[in-house]
Amino acid sequence: MSPSVIDTAKAPIIAYNEKDWDAVKAAVAPGFLYDEVGTQRKAQGINDVLTTWRGWATAIPDSKATFHSSVVSGNTVVLEVTWRGTHTGPLQTPDGEIAATGKKIEIRACQVIEVANDKAQAMRHYFDMTTLMQQLGVVS
User: DSSP string covering 45-69, please?
Assistant: SHHHHHHHHHHHHHHSTT-EEEEEE
Residues 6+ apart with CB under 8 A from 96: none
Domain assignment of residue 92, given as a range: 5-136
Degrees, nearest 5: CA angle 123-33-48: 120
Mean predicted lDDT score pLDDT of the chain: 95
Per-residue pLDDT, 27: 98
Give CA separation, 65 vs 30, 85, 94, 105, in Å. 23, 9, 22, 11
Is the separation of the CB atoms in 128 and 24 below 8 Å?
Answer: no
Per-residue pLDDT, 45: 95
Count of CB atoms situated within 10 Å of the CB of 110: 16
Give the CATH number, domain containing residue 130.
3.10.450.50
**pTM for the structure as a whole:** 0.94
Which pLDDT tens digit goes with each residue over 45-77? 999 999 999 999 999 999 999 999 999 999 999
Domain count across the chain: 1
